Structure 1
Amino acid sequence: MFDAARSIVVDLVRRRPWGSSRLARTIDDAEESLSALRGWKRTVTMGLEEALAGGRWVSRDVRETWSQSAPLPSRHVTSLARNKKAGQEARELIAFTSGDLRALVHDTNERIRAQELVARRHFLNTIETQPLTDEQAAAVVTFDNRVQVIAAAGSGKTSVMVARAGYAIQRQLVPAERILMLAFNRDAAAELQCRVEERLEAAGIEAPGLTVATFHSFALSVIGSATGRKPRLARWLDAGGDIAMVCRLVDELRDQSPAFRDRWDAYRLLFARMSDDPSGGEPDSYDHSTRQTGYRTFKGETVRSQGERMIADFLFLNGVRYEYEAPYQHDVADADHSQYRPDFYYPDVDVYHEHWALDREGNPPPHFVGYTDSMQWKKAVHQQFGTTLLETTWASIIDQTGFGPLADDLTKAGLALDWNPDRPVPGATPVKHEDLARVMRSFMTHVKSNSLSRADLERRLEAAPRSVQRFRARMFLDLFWDIHNAWQARLAADDCIDFEDMLVQAATHLESGGIDMGYELVLVDEFQDASQARARLTKALVDQPHRYLLAVGDDWQSINRFAGADLSVMTSFAEWFGEGQTLRLQTTFRSPQSICDVASEFVAKNPRQLTKVVTSAHLGYGQAASLVRVRRFDEVSGAVARVLDDLAARVRTGEVTPGRSGMVEVDVLGRYRFDRDSLPRRTPPELKVTFRTVHGSKGLEADYVILPNVASGTYGFPSEVADDPVMSLAMAETDAYPFAEERRLFYVALTRARRHVTMIGVEGRESAFVAELLATKRLELSPLSTVDLSAPCPLCDQGVLVVRRRKADGRPFEGCSAFPRCRFTRSALSAASPMRLAASPGARRPN
């Protein structure tokens, strides 16, 4: 210890009755503490200097190692630091040790990044066929333990992955045999493998042992290495075979068990269309004669409530003839009551039926003012005239206890019930077997990916806030576990494994520490599609000190929730993988700025999407999107043909030039596979025309994109095939924003285009997405349309105003195309306003 400090300590001892031995211990303690502080400071400062000199990023794990080893000053050093004359070094050491190490490392890394961008410029300019942008280059040299890159569509995320691997090898940060690149399907993995081999070879970088794999193939290798027996994937899982297998298992269960058959049919036909909202959810029908908005039944009428619809459909499927809200046979109208109309009347046996809106405690909804008095009056009417009244309640129908007694009462009244789940339906479309099987398979994917047990689902069910969901979900879960058990039995009988079990088992082996695959750098593509099982597997791979993860994805393109994707893995990256860097690729090389603006504004309406400001690398702005509007659905194919013919004519005149492939590429993107029918039999030879589904177009691009069925309806775009509310039991979180995933899917469709997007719409059946783009003036009418453009609905912004005629007198009026959800109307004469948009003769064609 230096003399001044020693003299201070001695002086302190003299003023206290300490012996010489205590003085020695005090001096030794102070010297030891100061030495530790000096050593730690030297370690950190030298480490930072060496990192800066060598251009080596100071990783999170290195910083945490330093932080955890930081010594605490002893109390004697703390006392010494208070002395203004002799405590300067102690103060400086204490200040350094207790200072903001994070900020110090951050500042050093910023200098290293700037330095590397200059020093590695040749590499960064040549590793791909085009020089990396500043954003891409920064993502490559930011060599921290955890880096998430949020990449806009067409921003070159694959270039970042390839360059990152090359950088790690060239800079000797990680050897090639310890680098793993994970893709989500075989095509993506094959493309990535080809790309990395080609570009590293061109750069003169040898990469023996670098592994590119799909998550599933890699998971198989993990299980094989851990157990000595590599499992076999079930052959029937590919190309929709999993849905077909669920259908097959359901057929077998229905044949083997009458109880399962009855439960399956009851859920599919009566409960599957039920809203999760006890108040009824959104109406889907309108009765022009009664001007009543409500719910469409299998028979085709409009009833007032979900409960009434379930009863009406039950009666229809049993072949029971009924009349809905027919006038009571006696005139009972008085000063306080209008003529009585019971809910149901069975004319063959002269029996009435009231369905009371009562909960399990026998109470009506609080806002049903006077409901109890009305019930008493109706019952008194039947008693007065001696008419027979059957009764059911909302609670008994929802919890499934009411249909049995109703069937018994109808039988006693003299009606023969003939349950036929395959009875031809003239009204509302029943949920198909395949559609319910698809829901079951999606639910199973989430259950397995999230490692949920029966007990887990039971706990979630008990925590469900609404009784409607609980009773309905109970029925669903009983069916699900029967199907799940049959599925597992089929896997065991075939001595194979499915995708989800494969990922979960591989993750479990890695987490247990029984095996270490030895990869130090893991790069994951399309991270927005990660399931929790994939996240577990990824985390286990890098869950050791000084390992590196680069995850690249775009939350705006998360469209595979049905296959188990969990967007929260990306949006909660730090919670899964620990603190890390978040970088953005916001420059796209695909679409012009006009498409970037339209697509970005559209998808960002959902506040849960991560913020990005997407900028095009192309100078041209151009028209982003146009709408070809036709009168009827059977004109859609003709509209597609006109768009293709018009484009081909402009290719012949030289107005439109070939694209990268030497031809003008056109992708017709359908929301569903059956949209392929909109393609004409022959396409112009000047064009390369390809049909894909929007899901299948992910990662691809074309010069022009045509969306052939941008209409409202169950199978429109957005699809109105609603997720079953019970799905929330198996998912980590749900997104309540309307059409959240459909909105992202539409964004994917828009951003496949290098030049222009054309949508085909049908008058009066406008998609909510089209209406939104019209309301924000982001969509123009194509001169190829056969119908003028209509004004957006001023009330809901989810439809446009279309001309209709009143049934009573034939007079025209304008109503919202989103009817019956929106019931806005106005006189057709008031349509002469600036909101009325028509195609001008000189409307521009897309370039």
Structure 2
Amino acid sequence: MELLITTISIALTALLFLLKKRTHKKKYQSEIYLKNLAGITEFNSKIDSLNDYCTWPYREEIKTDFIEIGTYFRNKTNYYKKEEKVKIFNEIFDNFDNYIANYNTNYILRKKENLKWFFEDIEGKKLDDQQQNAVITDEYSNLIIAGAGSGKTLTILAKIKYLTAIKNVKPSEILLLSFTKKTVDELNERLGKIALATKATTFHKLGYDTIKSASIDVPAITNDNTLKQIVTEYLRSDILENPEAINSYIRYIACYMNIPEEHEKYTSLGEKSDVEKGIDFETLKAKTEPLNKIATADLDTLQGEKVKSVEELIIANFLYLNGIEYEYEKKYPHTNVMYRPDFHLSEYDIWLEHFGVDENNNAKWLTPHNAENYVRKWR
């Protein structure tokens, strides 16, 4: 009896082994498996053929083309462990964004090494590491942020020279635009000095030339006076005659035209300062009350309030629009030290101080050292 049981057990084990072997062999002969495996070969061929910077649209195109294959083989590395291609494919495709990012990083490093001679002479100057990165990076769109005098124009010239001399792009296929004629003239002068045939133009001239080339009737170019007349007429006809519209317009100018950005959106205090340079910090009270105008022999000067921040401007205008009389930075009488709170509400004898700190008592608009002193002072 025991011998019979042992024999049956051995037979079943052998049968299971044969079935498993047959199933194992069958999965590697499956038509759908072989089709997707051929797709891996095509994927590898496309990856191996990369010899230029890989832009994000091309990266997304590759992902789209092979997404079905990626879905089929996902989490099946061990299931198809006899096929090394599956393992390699999953390692690449499951982290394809990082793979391309690493590829591009290595591509830039190789280019910088191979083109040392090129980057050492752009207008007689050598490009630094960041400028070289900006030139070689051939992304679908690039945003270069740099301060005045940091070499942005030199980098643009290097980019054009790189495209024409290294990438064999025709000068006529490069569109170089700027907002001002002064910048365009400077660019064209410097392009000429290093024998680059590309020409810069302004956005307005590009638009004008495009319309002129496609239309018999050439449009007249407006000027500041014409624009002023159009805006003035619009305000007179559509805003000033409508009490509701004029009220909304004034509130927009006073409270919503310059909404302060979150400090996290700025990359530096310098960037925040540059943005706020274009803001008029004169309050509505100063702009509208006749008593604030002092006539001089030569001209009328508006001697009004100029506050120190966007937040103070919004507070001052809010108080003014709501009929709350206030004085800005009036001397505080209840102390022996010189102290001028931001606002004194005359009718209520209330003093307001805008501290400019967040919910965690951080003054992010100051440098760390000054912020610490500022917060300690007002605690």
Query: TM-score band (shorter)?
Result: 0.5 to 0.7
Aligned-partner SS, 2:200: strand
Aligned-partner SS, 2:127: coil
Residue 60, structure 1, aligned to residue 56, structure 2: yes
Change in 2 beyond 3 A, CA 1:129/1:818: farther
User: Identity of paired residues, percent?
Assistant: 15
Q: Which structure is higher in RCO with an 8 Å CA cutoff and minimum separation 6? A: 1
Quick one: distance in 2 between partners of 1:817 and 1:24?
80
Q: 1:819 deviation in Å?
A: 4.1
Residue 37, structure 1, aligned to residue 34, structure 2: no
Residue 340 (structure 2) aligns with: 816
Residue 219 (structure 1) aligns with: 207
Q: 1:161 deviation in Å?
A: 1.7
Report if the CA contact (8 A) 1:30-1:74 is conserved.
no
Residue 72 (structure 1) aligns with: 69
Quick one: distance in 1 between partners of 2:121 and 2:42?
43
Residue 92 (structure 1) aligns with: 87
Residue 232 (structure 1) aligns with: 219
Counterpart of 1:82 (choices 76, 79, 83) is 79
Quick one: distance in 2 between partners of 1:238 and 1:801?
44
Residue 176, structure 1, aligned to residue 152, structure 2: no
> Which structure is higher in strand share?
1
Report if the CA contact (8 A) 2:188-2:200 is conserved.
yes
What amino acid does structure 2 have at the position aligned with 1:165?
I
Q: 5+ unaligned residues in a row in structure 2: which ranges?
A: 1-17, 286-302, 313-326, 353-379
Quick one: distance in 2 between partners of 1:721 and 1:212?
42
Quick one: distance in 2 between partners of 1:90 and 1:128?
49
Report if the CA contact (8 A) 2:329-2:342 is conserved.
yes
Residue 12 (structure 1) aligns with: 23
What are the residue-to-residue correspondences of 1:366-405 with 2, within 5 Å?
none
1:268-296 alpha-carbon deviations (Å, 9 max, x no partner): 9984785479xxx99xxxxxxxxxxxxxx
Quick one: distance in 1 between partners of 2:27 and 2:341?
92
Report if the CA contact (8 A) 1:136-1:160 is conserved.
yes
What amino acid does structure 1 have at the position aligned with 2:140?
N
1:261-319 alpha-carbon deviations (Å, 9 max, x no partner): xx735649984785479xxx99xxxxxxxxxxxxxxxxxxxxxxxxxxxxxxxxxxxxx
1:625-657 alpha-carbon deviations (Å, 9 max, x no partner): xxxxxxxxxxxxxxxxxxxxxxxxxxxxxxxxx
1:590-618 alpha-carbon deviations (Å, 9 max, x no partner): xxxxxxxxxxxxx9x85164314879xxx
Quick one: distance in 1 between partners of 2:179 and 2:339?
46
Residue 243, structure 1, aligned to residue 228, structure 2: yes
> Which structure is higher in helix share?
2
Residue 768 (structure 1) aligns with: 308
Residue 159 (structure 2) aligns with: 164
Quick one: distance in 2 between partners of 1:614 and 1:89?
53
Aligned pair count reads 293
Residue 140 (structure 2) aligns with: 145
What amino acid does structure 1 have at the position aligned with 2:227?
D
Residue 718 (structure 1) aligns with: 281
Quick one: distance in 1 between partners of 2:247 and 2:339?
32
TM-score (norm 2): 0.59
Quick one: distance in 2 between partners of 1:47 and 1:613?
45
1:11-43 alpha-carbon deviations (Å, 9 max, x no partner): 2399xxxxxxxx899555443332221231132
What are the residue-to-residue correspondences of 1:396-545 with 2, within 5 Å?
none
Aligned-partner SS, 1:816: coil
Residue 264, structure 1, aligned to residue 260, structure 2: no
Q: CA RMSD in A?
A: 5.0
Quick one: distance in 1 between partners of 2:19 and 2:161?
59
Change in 2 beyond 3 A, CA 1:74/1:105: closer
Quick one: distance in 2 between partners of 1:38 and 1:139?
34
Q: 1:82 deviation in Å?
A: 1.5
Report if the CA contact (8 A) 1:221-1:230 is conserved.
no
Q: 1:178 deviation in Å?
A: 0.6
What are the residue-to-residue correspondences of 1:824-835 with 2, within 5 Å?
824=351
What are the residue-to-residue correspondences of 1:281-430 with 2, within 5 Å?
none
Change in 2 beyond 3 A, CA 1:229/1:160: farther
Change in 2 beyond 3 A, CA 1:108/1:215: same
Q: 5+ unaligned residues in a row in structure 1: which ranges?
A: 1-6, 15-22, 254-259, 283-468, 470-560, 568-602, 616-670, 672-693, 696-715, 723-762, 773-797, 807-811, 826-847
What amino acid does structure 2 have at the position aligned with 1:264?
L
Residue 182 (structure 2) aligns with: 187
Report if the CA contact (8 A) 1:802-1:815 is conserved.
yes
Report if the CA contact (8 A) 2:180-2:202 is conserved.
yes
Residue 106, structure 1, aligned to residue 101, structure 2: yes
1:73-123 alpha-carbon deviations (Å, 9 max, x no partner): 797999896255xx2325325424633122111112111222222332333
Residue 119, structure 1, aligned to residue 122, structure 2: no
TM-score (norm 1): 0.29
Report if the CA contact (8 A) 1:34-1:77 is conserved.
no
Quick one: distance in 2 between partners of 1:164 and 1:9?
61
Change in 2 beyond 3 A, CA 1:77/1:32: farther
What stretches of structure 1 move > 6 A for 4+ residues in a row?
Answer: 7-10, 73-80, 812-815
Quick one: distance in 2 between partners of 1:273 and 1:172?
52
